[in-house]
Structure 1
Amino acid sequence: MMFEELLEQFRQLGGTAQNIVLREGSYGRGVFPQDPSKPILIHIPENLLIPVSMLTLHGTDLVVREDARIPENIRAFFASYQKHLSWGAGVFTHLLESERSWCQLPEPVKDKMISILQADLGNNPFDISNSTKLINRYYLTRAIGYASSSFGQDGHVMPFIELINHSKDGGAYKSHNGIAFDGVYAGEVFANYNPLFDSMKLFTQYRFSAPSKTAYSFPIRLICGDSFIQVLRNIADHQFIDGKRYPNVLIADKGVQLSYLELGNCSSPRACRSSFLRLISGTPIQNPNEVFDQLEAHNRNCLISLLRVLQNHQGPMISELQSAVFNQMETLSTYWGSDPL
């Protein structure tokens, strides 16, 4: 089934798709504008956002479960879309090959990654022993969190929008009566899959290397004289102060815990140290500038130690991980000075 035929079915079911074509780009298949002088627009209404909890494998096809409350015409569209543009059109094969390479990483590399990136990897990160885990990888990389009026909060698969490749300078998804993506693009259309992800998180989530505008600390507990500071890597745990996003802070037993800590920011190089000094002010932590420097040094040393392990091995996934480490180090280096408190 041709791309245009599926677009027409999508439109007949209430979707909007304007000025888009599918072509080969710098990262393989991607979305391009038909006319670069005009904006593109894709809008997926709620009725076409299928919750991942309603999907299953039927043989080798990804389909809507029989007991799901989804109309037959939408089921048919979803099955055709998955067969001709997504799961059955190379996505399954790519996921399988990628996960095999991931799981076959040398043991020293796995051990080093777990010691540094446990917060990103979760439990049993190198096990794809059954098809369910492979499907979950698909959901993790292709679905978006959305609270629909019919099905509540869940991950939802995004027809056509999921075909857009990632860039740190890409556009943002818009959530209003469904999911939309728009903008004017001279060449390939790019989305920023998650502007909160740093390069290492992008790699562990999507298995590819890409630059990021931000870099967060790896988890660490650092003794600071008679006190200590513990930094986690939970970037979803945050607060807003004067309209700016900060980690949550817990003070107890002469120690301080931060839910995360940004150490590099390409858009605002002075913000990282300034934010840290603001958060630590009034806590038991003494010499906060020195502590910040120690945290920076710890993260650089973690990445260097990972590179030392990687230099003994070869392979596509090794190369991708090396690239991710260099991207992380580059962003970590993007900080200087501090803004006035």
Structure 2
Amino acid sequence: MDDRFQQMLAEFRALGGTAENIRLGEGAFGRGIFPVDPAKPVAVAVPENLLMDVSDLRIEGGAFRVAQGSSLGAAERRFVEEYEASFSWGNGRGDIEALFEQAQALPAEIRHQLRVEFRCGEWFAEPDAHTVEERFFSSRSILYGKRNVIMPVVELINHGDAAGYDTSSGVSVRGTFAGEVNVRYSDVDAYGLFLNWGFSHPQRQALSLALSGAVGGKGLHIERDYTSGEAMPTLKRDGDALALNYLMLGHRQYPRLAKGIFYKRMREAGANGIEEAFDTIQHINRMNFLGVMALLEPFEGAMVRGLRRMARHQLEALSFACGVRPV
């Protein structure tokens, strides 16, 4: 595999890619990228000519194909198809299929509760070929400007606490790593990581579930439309109804910030009873993830352990909401 990997990297570089001081290895999340020499910096960069729109991919007879109308050049098209066959879709979709198989091992009524009552995502739906494809490529793509693109080679890097992707020109990850190379996929919470990628990892913040209720006699709708790096939620008004595109409920580094942001937005809208409203939203969220843990008490398995960890990480981040910081 290492010879094939190095040959693929040579072709990647010939098309403008950067791949310095890297090798394939096995880490905490399975296959990943490691430095050849941990004392030297790592650099992996996908140039714009190798970023393919997700809308241009086709699965034909189980094989990855680039659509005829794609903007990729002939050499780039050939590289992407061969890369996907050897290092991504061709031998990597088994990881996604295994997640669905683990979920299907739970009784049908438990899966229904996890998906509908506790909103743990489509991992607990009845899987089909389209669902597997959608989950696989959703977990290996990135928003580049207004395009949702596949990022060959860089997508082999697993999630961790390092810096995020550099998307100023292509998509790149750089740095010095003592062990496995990692990149922060997103600043979203542990729950959001599980929904999209199917794994659990402690995150700095906890965001609210999507909820509808009221605050001070005004309707309040909270969404989960969060973009990494967004400092404040957007407040929209529709008559007496209010809407936030997301709401932070706790932050490990800034525990006084969550209430400060909510109070500011609600005061801007002229809402009353904001202290009780925040506590109620927190309570609903805590009960949701405590409910997940209670539901899973009789069960074991990799998916169950992952769900328990996700719920614990989310509850821990929710607990970091102490005091109020003026915003």
TM-score (norm 2): 0.90
Q: Which residue number corresponds to residue 164 of structure 2? A: 172
Which of 260, 271, 274 in structure 1 is aligned with 2:246?
260
List aligned pairs for 1:1-341, cutoff 5 A: 2-89=4-91, 91-103=92-104, 105-106=106-107, 107-117=109-119, 121=121, 126-129=125-128, 131-147=129-145, 153-167=146-160, 169-195=161-187, 197-224=188-215, 226-236=217-227, 245-341=231-327
Number of residue pairs aligned between Structure 1 and Structure 2: 324
Partner of 1:150: none
Relative to structure 1, the CA distance from residue 226 to residue 71 in structure 2 (aligned partners, 3 Å threshold; closer, same or farther) is closer
Amino acid corresponding to residue 103 of structure 2 in structure 1: W
Kept after mapping to 2: 8 A contact 1:255/1:285: no
**2:43 is paired with a residue of what secondary structure?**
strand
Separation (CA, whole Å) in 1 of partners of 2:53 and 2:135: 15
1:308-333 CA distance string (max 9 Å, x none): 21113333212211111011001001
TM-score scaled by length of structure 1: 0.86
Cα 1:4–1:303 shift into 2, 3 Å = same
Structure 2 CA distance, aligned partners of 1:234 and 1:71? 34
* Residue type at the aligned position of 2:170: G
SS of residue matched to 2:34: strand
**In structure 2, how many angstroms separate the alpha carbons of the residues matched to 1:160 and 1:235?**
26
DSSP-derived class of the 1:267 partner: coil
Structure 1 runs (4+) deviating above 6 angstroms are none
**Would the aligned equivalents of 1:99 and 1:128 in 2 still touch at CA under 8 Å?**
yes
Aligned pair in 2 of structure 1 residues 158, 281: CA closer, same or farther (>3 Å)?
Answer: same
User: What RMSD, in angstroms, separates the aligned Cα atoms of the two structures?
Assistant: 2.4
Distance 2:110 2:268 in 1: 42
**Matched-pair contact (CA < 8 Å) for 1:116–1:219:** no
Give, in whole Å, the separation in 2 of the partners of 1:283 and 1:291.
Answer: 14
The SS at the match of 1:281 is: helix
Give 1:32 deviation, angstroms: 1.2
Task: Say if 1:336 and 1:132 are closer, same or farther in 2 by CA, change over 3 A.
Answer: same
Aligned partners of 2:45 and 2:170 also within 8 Å: yes
What residue identity is the alignment partner of 1:245? A
Name stretches of at least 5 consecutive residues in structure 1 with no aligned partner. 148-152
SS of residue paired to 2:307: helix
Deviations 1:176-231 (A, max 9, x none): 33111111111111111111x11111111111111111111113333446444332
Aligned residues with identical type, % of pairs: 30
The answer to whether the 8 Å contact 1:254/1:284 transfers is no
Question: Structure 1 CA distance, aligned partners of 2:52 and 2:219?
Answer: 46
The 1:274–1:87 alpha-carbon spacing in structure 2 relative to 1, beyond 3 Å, is: same
The CA distance in 2 between the partners of 1:320 and 1:83, in whole Å, is 28
Q: 2:55 and 2:213 mapped to 1: Cα distance?
A: 41
